[in-house]
Structure 1
Amino acid sequence: MSLGDEPGYGDGPRGDDGGYGGSGQTRTRLPDRPGDVYGGARRGRGSSSRSLVTVVGVVVLLIAAIAFANRGDKAASPGGGSKAKTSPTAASGANPVTTKAAGIPAGFAHNTQGAQSAAANYAVALGSADMFDKTRRDQILATVITPSKVTDFEATLDQAYTPQFNKNVGLNENGTAPQGYTFVSRTTPIGTRTTASSNNTVTVEVWCGGLLGLAGENSTNPVTSSWFTITMKLEWTGGDWKIVSHSQKDGPAPVPGDDRASSADDIAKAVEEYGGFTYAR
């Protein structure tokens, strides 16, 4: 669940150990037989041929990539050595932070890589199921938002996370999951980049994949995936990076694959057993 999904949430302030996650706008795949919300949903005619073409294409691209890499190695140095080029999200070699505040990673480096790490971890927290609980939401906001903006964020999100909104996503009015169901709201950063920076202010974009929905045998809101990009403006205050503003847009989204949808039990089990990450550049 991401901040951009709440009704009335505009371009202004938006909106533990590994329990965070979320999504943006969702897409629902309809079942191919009544009562089977998760299992059995497949693509129609032509799926096998497309899968074959995909496999062949991947093999061809892999061979081409290996050939190109080998050619690049020879050209890079007369002695046969090579120097790898870093991508915008290449690892810096710095370890992830080891400290936490309210269950959220904290204590990031005072540089652009530290800001990117902070933005990735904050995206996870703001897209988590904890955001549907008022007490926990206020703790998260007090931790990741710059102090002068906390009150504004709280007021905006209180208007978004209403009892009716909770019902719309399949929850009880108080934000808890109905008995027998597991609520899933998880965000996974795919990559980050800096679009503007100064000594104490950095703007970071975080490309994310998200999961949102209710895992349960008869769920009418099954867990679906989405892709979105979050933009955060961060400022250095109190010895750490904090969010000044937050916005979101859809995509970039890859072409959906032909994976068979897992059962509700498998999804619920996966969410309970697989924890989240602490992100670092």
Structure 2
Amino acid sequence: MSPVNGEFDGRDYPTAENSGHGQTRTQLPDGESHGFGDTRRGNRSGFSNRNLLTVVAVVVLLIAAIAFANRGGGSAGAGSGGSSDNRDTNRDTAAQPTAPTGEKPVSGKNGGIASGFPKTEQGAQSAAANYAVALGSDGMFKADRRHEIVAAVHDPAVVGKLQGDLDRAYSPKFLANVGLKSDGSAPNGFTFVSRTVPVGSKATKIDGDTATVEVWCTGLVGLAGESSTKPVSETWFTITEKLKWTNDDWKIESSKQTAGPAPVGGDDRASSAEEITNAVEGYGGFTYAR
């Protein structure tokens, strides 16, 4: 993703189907301390600057922040989803409920991010979901942590160029548009929220040492605090990650994001800035296993 103009429009209500084999479960990682909370209904993001999008096309989760930063201007649009080879049509493609399975999640960690995924379809889906969470975190807005995240989840062959591209994308001007200081920290009295929550995943192609996985996500992004002009809002998007088996693990070779599918907004009461801040500080994130 890249710092480009866009806005939340979030009023399309396409149906969504999550196909997969095996069920999804989540487990809290040790020592994780940040979290997310309920918020008022926001809208999802769009793009207009193709050049910057191309620059950082292998990173996918800055889109929501861009739309958040530029809320109220620009026209909404969705990136090209591209096409993927389908798996055997005789295989079961019915949506599976979210429920625990008997398998343990991966125990490895690389820079605080789950690692050591098996070379299986489920392993590829788990990797893609966990990498989506990492790339959608608030750590991406701080240079040192961003470098760690990018190196941990990407194929080493693409890391060098990507780091430079992202450093230019997360410029002081862009951070100011988001409402952050030049070092990526929130102003005094505010809590910056950027969190991605996978809803479901499916592998659309498995071929030896490569895999393509789609992860349907919802996200929270904004500044929580009294008198915030950029309150925390929700987004819905689908991330497509092309993974490569390298160094005995799945790593991202390239990725892209499209808007939706987005459900109809509910009638939930918008929480106060204090409630959102307390939730962010009090609820930890998850390690996702397929």
Change (3 A) 1:21 1:275: farther
Residue 9 of structure 1: which of 39, 43, 53 is its match? 53
Q: Does 1:115 align with 2:124?
A: yes
Letter of the structure 1 residue corresponding to residue 228 of structure 2:
S
Aligned twin of 2:236: 227
Structure-2 separation of matches of 1:29 and 1:245: 27
- Distance, in Å, in 2 between the alignment partners of 1:143 and 1:254 is 32
How far residue 138 of structure 1 moved from its aligned partner, in angstroms, is 0.5
- The aligned length equals 221
Larger Rg: 1
- Deviations, residues 43-69 of structure 1 (Å, cap 9, x unaligned): xxxxxxxxxxxxxxxxxxxxxxxxxxx
Q: Is the 1:26–1:225 Cα contact (8 Å) retained in structure 2?
A: no
Distance 1:193 1:89, change over 3 A: farther
- Correspondence 1:104 to 2:118: no
1:188-225 Cα shifts (integer Å, max 9, x gaps): 00000111111210000000000000000011110010
Structure 1 contact 28–224 (Cα < 8 Å) conserved: no
Where 2:124 maps in the other structure, the secondary structure is helix
SS at match of 2:239: strand
**In 2: Cα distance, 1:12 partner to 1:216 partner:** 32
Structure 2 residues not aligned, in runs of 5+? 5-51, 73-91
CA drift at 1:92: 5.7
Secondary structure at 1:9's aligned position in 2?
Answer: helix
Amino-acid identity (%): 52
Structure 1 151/106 Cα, relative in aligned 2: closer, same or farther at 3 Å?
A: same
* TM-score, normalised by the number of residues in structure 1: 0.73
Aligned to 1:257: 266
C-alpha deviations, 1:18-43, integer Å up to 9, x for none? xx99946459999xxxxxxxxxxxxx
User: Partners of 1:21 and 1:156 in 2: how far apart?
Assistant: 13
Q: In the alignment, which residue of structure 2 is the partner of 1:61?
A: none
Unaligned runs of 5+ in 1: 31-83
Q: Tell me the residue number matched to 2:249.
A: 240
Q: Secondary structure of the equivalent of 1:168?
A: helix
Task: Report the CA distance shift for 1:255/1:27 in structure 2 as closer, same or farther (over 3 A).
Answer: farther
Structure (1 or 2) with the greater helix fraction: 1
Letter of the 2:59 counterpart: R
Question: Counterpart in 2 of 1:46?
Answer: none
CA distance in 1, matches of 2:219, 2:57: 22
